[in-house]
Structure 1
Amino acid sequence: MKGTMRAIVKPERSPGAKLEYVPIPSISDNEVLIQVKATSICGTDVHIYAWDEWSQSRVNPPYVFGHEFAGIVVEKGKNVTNVDVGDHVSAETHIVCGECPQCLTGQAHICADTQIIGVDRDGCFAEYVALPAENMWKNDPELPFDVASVQEPFGNGVHTVLAGDVAGKTVAVIGCGPIGVMAVGVAKACGASQVIAFDLNEYRLDLAKKMGATSVVNSSTEDPLEVVNSLTNGHGVDVVCEMSGHPVAMNQGFKMVTNGGRVSILSLPVRPVEIDVTNDIVFKGITVQGITGRKMYHTWQQVSGLLRSGQVDVKPMITHHFPLEEFEKGFNLMIEGKCGKVVLHP
């Protein structure tokens, strides 16, 4: 397909972005071209938009960013057999080498040579995006495009919560951004006896309630450790899902987890965090997990199953919709913390 398309471009190494006309991407024999119907804003996109330390060290403008989307295949390469023109799709955003020890042993989500769309190569804040066919995830045509577009971040929440058993256990979700709020829904759906959500933002704590949190804690007005002691008879929580990246909150997570418990960390602190390894990890005998991406494609199957069954309804945390040209409104809401998930429609 030839011609131009509208896209949100990171034009230079400075804060902000621009809506520009750029060429519609061409595809190789192993790729597909997707018409983007819905694309959601991720915290990573906000980092790039704001041009913080992480983005300055990672991305190389000018390029099209964005990595969460749903759309329809409109063109495919001659070697593509797993999807057809007209299929509704989303995408695993990690493009991996397929040859390293991790890829060859079922751990492709931690491939050392991973490229991420919208970070290391052009992304989906556009009318069209080109991607390897092997990264496609076929969606049920009945699945609304906005819901389908949040499967990728939903998968991060699923991976974090289900990296161990949660049935009958107490789960703390620290940080109620969109992924944290979705993690609340996953923990509740998968049988957690209590799901305690922590944040400083009342708007997002309210979303956590709607997603099934049994208790919400504003850490600016309540002592998280005192609340946990009260709710768990002094034993601490069984599982901590750390989504905030804040050093104080992260330390509270290690202190509130029970002996022999689990701390799964999805957040990305912008600077090194000091942890009391001796007392909060070793002597407590806990398991600490770093969570990156989604297991390919086990997590996608879990995501699809949870959505199809209705056990998790992500619609309450999709709070805003904007046309692509009003992207700045969406980014401003994300920065202010006055939203759940923001979906853009090209």
Structure 2
Amino acid sequence: MNGKMKAIVKHHRDKGARLEMVDIPQINENEVLIKVKATSICGTDVHIYAWDEWSASRVNPPYVFGHEFAGEVVEIGEDVTNVKIGDSVSAETHIVCGECPQCLTGNAHICRNTKIIGVDIDGCFAEYVALPAKNLWKNDAEMPMSVGSVQEPMGNAVHTVLAGDVAGKTVSIIGCGPIGLMAVGVAKAAGASQVIAYDLNEYRLELAKEMGATTIVNSKEQDPVQVAMELTDGNGVEVVCEMSGHPVAIDQGFKMLTNGGRMSILSLPVKPVQVDITNDIVFKGITVQGITGRKMYETWRQVAGLLESGQVDVKKMITHEFSLEDFEKGFDLMLEGKCGKVVLKP
């Protein structure tokens, strides 16, 4: 397909972005062209839009950013057999090499040569996006496009929560941004006995309650560690899912964790974080996990199952939808924290 399309371009090495007309991407024999029907704003996109230290060290403008979407296949390469024109799809956004030791041992989500759409290569804040066919995930035709667009970040929540057993356990979710909110729903669906949600933002704490949190804690008004201890008879929680990236919150997560517990960290602190390894890790005998991406494609199957069963209702945390042209409104809401998930419609 030839021609031009509207796209949100990170056009310079500073805060902001702009809507431009760019070339519709061309596909090769193993790729697919998708007409984007819904694309959602991720915390990573906010980092890039705001131009913090992490994004300044990672991305190279100008390019089209964005990496969460759902859309319709409109063109396929001659060697593509797993999807057809008209299919509703989302996509695994990590493009991996398939040849490194990690890929060859079932750990492609930590491929040493990963390229991420919307970070390392052009993304989906556009009318069309081109991707390798092997990265596509076929959606149920009845799935709303806005729901389809949040499966990729929901995969992060699922991977974080289900990186170990949570059934019957006490779980703390620290940070109630969109992925944290979905993590609340996943932990509840997976049978956690308590799901304690922490944030500084009352708007998002109320969303956490809607997603299934048994207790919500405003960390400005209450001592997070003290609350965790009170709710667990002084034992501490068994699982902490760290989504905030704030050094103080990370330290509190280690402090509230019981001996032998699990700390799964998805957040991306922009600077090194000081941790008391002796007292909070070694003497406690805890497990600390770094979580990146989604397991290919185990996590995607778990996401689809949770959505299909209705055990996790992500529509509760999709709070705003805008046209692609109004993207700045969406980013402003994300920066202010006055939203759940924001979806853009090209």
Would you say same fold, with TM above 0.5? yes
TM-score of the pair, normalised by structure 1: 1.00
Shift of 1:229: 1.1
The answer to whether residue 138 in structure 2 is matched with residue 138 in structure 1 is: yes
Paired with 1:236 and 1:39, the residues of 2 have a C-alpha distance of: 39
Q: Which residue pairs with 1:263 in the alignment?
A: 263
Shift of 1:179: 0.1
Shift of 1:49: 0.5
The answer to whether residue 56 in structure 2 is matched with residue 70 in structure 1 is: no
Paired with 1:97 and 1:7, the residues of 2 have a C-alpha distance of: 27
Shift of 1:38: 0.1
Shift of 1:13: 1.0
Q: Which residue pairs with 2:123 in the alignment?
A: 123
Paired with 2:225 and 2:11, the residues of 1 have a C-alpha distance of: 45
Shift of 1:123: 0.2
Write out per-residue CA displacement over residues 316-346 of structure 1, whole angstroms, 9 at most, x where no aligned residue. Answer: 1000000000000000000000000000000
What does 1:190-339 align with in structure 2 at a 5 Å threshold?
Answer: 190-339=190-339
Paired with 2:15 and 2:260, the residues of 1 have a C-alpha distance of: 44
Q: Which residue pairs with 1:113 in the alignment?
A: 113
Q: Which residue pairs with 2:172 in the alignment?
A: 172
Paired with 1:325 and 1:267, the residues of 2 have a C-alpha distance of: 29
Letter in 2 for 1:201: N
Write out per-residue CA displacement over residues 126-172 of structure 1, whole angstroms, 9 at most, x where no aligned residue. Answer: 00000000000000000000000000000000000000000000000
Letter in 1 for 2:287: T
Letter in 2 for 1:178: P
Partner-residue secondary structure (3-state), 2:343: strand
Paired with 2:249 and 2:243, the residues of 1 have a C-alpha distance of: 9
Paired with 1:85 and 1:177, the residues of 2 have a C-alpha distance of: 35
Shift of 1:216: 0.3
Partner-residue secondary structure (3-state), 1:15: coil
Write out per-residue CA displacement over residues 56-108 of structure 1, whole angstroms, 9 at most, x where no aligned residue. Answer: 11000110000000000000000000000000000000000000000000000
Q: Which residue pairs with 2:12 in the alignment?
A: 12
Paired with 2:49 and 2:117, the residues of 1 have a C-alpha distance of: 15
After TM superposition, the runs of 4+ consecutive aligned structure 1 residues lying more than 3 A away are: none
Letter in 1 for 2:88: H
Letter in 2 for 1:154: M
Q: Which residue pairs with 2:159 in the alignment?
A: 159
What does 1:3-42 align with in structure 2 at a 5 Å threshold?
Answer: 3-42=3-42
Aligned residues: 346
Shift of 1:226: 1.0
Shift of 1:12: 1.1
CA RMSD between the two structures:
0.3
Paired with 1:174 and 1:11, the residues of 2 have a C-alpha distance of: 33
Paired with 1:139 and 1:225, the residues of 2 have a C-alpha distance of: 41
Write out per-residue CA displacement over residues 245-302 of structure 1, whole angstroms, 9 at most, x where no aligned residue. Answer: 0000000000100000000000000000000000000000000000000000000000
Paired with 1:143 and 1:340, the residues of 2 have a C-alpha distance of: 20
Write out per-residue CA displacement over residues 217-240 of structure 1, whole angstroms, 9 at most, x where no aligned residue. Answer: 000000011111110000000000
Paired with 1:224 and 1:54, the residues of 2 have a C-alpha distance of: 28
Partner-residue secondary structure (3-state), 1:85: coil
**Percent identity over paired residues:** 78
Paired with 2:266 and 2:229, the residues of 1 have a C-alpha distance of: 24
Partner-residue secondary structure (3-state), 1:262: strand
Shift of 1:19: 0.3
Paired with 1:216 and 1:15, the residues of 2 have a C-alpha distance of: 33
Paired with 1:217 and 1:193, the residues of 2 have a C-alpha distance of: 17
Paired with 2:289 and 2:12, the residues of 1 have a C-alpha distance of: 35
Shift of 1:41: 0.1
Letter in 1 for 2:3: G
Structure 2 gap ranges (5+): none
Partner-residue secondary structure (3-state), 1:158: helix
Letter in 2 for 1:49: Y
Partner-residue secondary structure (3-state), 2:131: strand
Paired with 2:276 and 2:54, the residues of 1 have a C-alpha distance of: 25
TM-score of the pair, normalised by structure 2: 1.00
Paired with 2:290 and 2:255, the residues of 1 have a C-alpha distance of: 18
